[in-house]
Amino acid sequence: MRHRYSILFFPLHVIADFLSLNAAFVGAYWIKFRAIEPVSEPPYALLWVLFNLVWLVEVLLFKPYTFPRQLFKADHLIKKLLFLMALHIAVISICWVAIKGYYYSREHLLITYVLFTSMAAAFRIGGLVFLKEYRARGYNNRRYIVVGYGKLASTIQSFYELHPEMGFRFQGYFDHATDENKSMLTGGYNDLARYIKEQNIDCVYCCMPYIDNNKLKEIVDQAEDENYQVKLLVDFRGFLTRGASVEYHDFLPVLNLSSQMLADFRVNMLKRGFDIAFSLGALLIGMPIFLVLALITKLTSEGPIFYAQERIGRGGKPFKIIKFRSMYVNAEKAGPSLSGGLADSRITPWGRFMRQTRLDEIPQFVNVLKGDMSVVGPRPERQFFIDQIVEVAPEYRSLLKVKPGITSIGQIKFGYAATIDEMVQRLRYDLLYPERRSFFFDMWIIAQTLRVMAQGRGK
């Protein structure tokens, strides 16, 4: 057998789950009532049958035991189990209400599900550990070859060498022989069909762009007859971190390499709507507090209440950011310089308090209403410092694809930066935002910001 008893995994998994389900049902009955025989009599006999029927329907509908080896991981298995369990509970609850089966013990149902979940999870974890060790020792393996040799071709071999528990065994490279690659090849294109058949190859990785389309079509056409899988290996490592999707033009698949998250109209509209609503609410509700802050700023040091400075926004567009003034007038008369933290002598005593509580940032809600900023997003910087940051960390440019924000992960985790190196350190946090941006993530950042303000931990 080519796949070394892989065909047995499905029935074993099904049998194990049904045994666990029935053992949990009977065991829970004994724990609750200290008896076994009545469980097979009405009314619990009907509930017992219903438990099995609902689980059987779930197995037939969702096929929870069918997954590729790359997804044969503990978290994936447990997530599927919990999904099936939640659905099972929901169906049983609906039936329980429909038949008015209030005579069934809720404690018995709870114990049943706890036992079943524990046993099913233990079987999955135990089976996973056993199978990984079994495959790592060379059993239940799948043999694969790579057609088309180049720098990209070795990546799949390296991946499976790092993960022997997946049970993939490399059998060689196939390509047109040249002076550069002939020492690495197992054979040429003319040897391919014979080798696949003789060595019982399970999977053929076709490495683009080293293989021509005619040869690829020939490999695909023979796959069904010889019972092997064909997989394309394409190097999109420089693009997929930005997000990608497949579009179908009739039958022709087109890979869209533009970032879906940043270009998605609905996401941007939702975020803009939230920014406007949140900023208006903050300005209207907090107006008395803002007037007090403005008055104290005016009375505690000479100079204007507000401080405006040019920053760089989305797409490199400059704008004027507005803040409550926290430094003495002419603090930067010697040229652009970063704040030295709360100990900076240029910061007024009142300004130090506002920075600790982030109150100096409040006027930026006006920037949000104008569309220059968002409530949540990476902090905007001056062009003078951006030029220096990019020399050290070119990836900073990716932050210019989103609107800057009043608060950010970097502000929460790091705070104000006093040097270019510290700005780069803060950048490491802010780089997480474009990839993880969502409404709930924004809510989490806002909640963390409020906590920092309440504790006066801004720095």
Q: Residue 318: is the preceding peptide bond cis (ω within 30°)?
A: no
pLDDT tens track of the chain, all 459 residues? 444 555 666 788 889 999 999 999 999 999 999 999 999 999 999 999 999 999 999 988 887 776 666 656 778 888 889 999 999 999 999 998 888 888 899 999 999 999 999 999 999 898 888 877 877 777 778 899 999 887 777 888 888 888 777 888 899 999 988 888 888 899 998 899 999 999 999 999 998 878 878 888 899 999 888 889 999 887 665 554 445 566 665 556 666 655 554 445 556 778 888 899 999 998 998 899 999 999 999 999 888 999 898 999 988 899 999 999 988 888 777 666 666 566 677 889 998 888 888 888 899 999 999 999 999 988 888 888 888 888 888 888 888 888 899 988 888 887 777 778 888 888 878 888 877 777 888 888 888 888 888 776 655
User: What percentage of the chain's residues is helix, strand, coil (to nearest 5)?
Assistant: 60, 15, 30
Measured between its terminal Cα atoms, the distance across the chain in Å is 65
What is residue 204's three-state secondary structure?
strand
Give the CATH number of domain 142-235: 3.40.50.720
- Residue given tokens 């900073």 in the structure block: 396
What is the crossing angle of helices 44-62 and 9-33, to 10°? 150
Spatial neighbors of 81 by CB under 8 A, at least 6 apart, are: 64, 117, 120, 121, 124
What phi and psi, each to the nearest 5 degrees, are found at residue 327? -115, 165
Report the C-alpha gap between 213 and 123 in whole angstroms. 45
Whether pTM exceeds 0.95 = no
Q: Which two tokens stand for residue 90?
A: 């929901």
Q: Where in the chain is the domain with CATH 3.40.50.720?
A: 142-235
